[in-house]
Amino acid sequence: MDFENPEQLCLQGSLILADPSLKDSGFERSVLLLTRHRHDDGAVGYILNKPSGRKVSDLVKIDSMRELGDLPVFVGGPVGMDQLTFASMAWRETSSELDYDTHLSSEEALHRLREGFHVRAFVGYSGWAEGQLESELQQRSWITHKPIPRIASERTDEAMWGELLSEMGPYYRLLAQTPERPELN
């Protein structure tokens, strides 16, 4: 990754995986989708592999949109934890790209769900100020990864972090096998 010209670095639409050395409890072993990134404007993303254990119907009443009520709610990050938001995702086979849209209203989310998009509910989001993410990348707190088809599927859980790292090669496979608390070994 070229940090000589950080203003040219754009990771919007990419995944970032927390390095095992990142011990921030909110981001430890996290996989995030960066939905916005500009060096001069900061970055925004959502943690994809931290289910909250709740469903949308546990948090809000959605009588006219029951289909959304069964959606699992994920912890998107530490910012705005009092806000529930929806995102839609689909994998474009023709271009091998992840198509996503965030900050959907419940009506928009229901429409996307009926169109065949995978819809995800989040409480909170992750945000970085101008230059902050670039600095964290230089400190090797994050590992970048291209989006892959399974990101737009139902099965994204805590195991995703280790699975994605393991697929990146031998060095990353070792990182994925790092114990969560090495000091207890």
Q: Is the pLDDT score of 151 beyond 90?
A: no
CA 184 to chain centre: 29
What is the reported pTM? Answer: 0.89
* 66 has a pLDDT exceeding 90: no
Which is nearest to 85 in space by CA: 99, 98, 100, 95?
A: 100
pLDDT digits (tens, 9 = 90+) for 95-122: 888 999 999 999 999 999 999 899 999 9
pLDDT given at position 173: 94
pLDDT single digits (tens) 165-178: 999 999 999 999 98
pLDDT at res. 40:
85
Dist. CA 35–CA 73, nearest whole Å: 18
Ranking 46-50, 108-112, 124-128, 155-159 by mean pLDDT, the lowest is 155-159
- Asked if residue 137 lies in contact with residue 15, where contact means CB atoms within 8 angstroms, the answer is no
The pLDDT of residue 9 is 73
Which residue in this structure is represented by tokens 């909250």? 52
E strand or H helix at 12: none
pLDDT at 64 over 80: no
**Mean pLDDT across 56-74:** 85
pLDDT score, position 96: 87
Res 76: pLDDT:
96
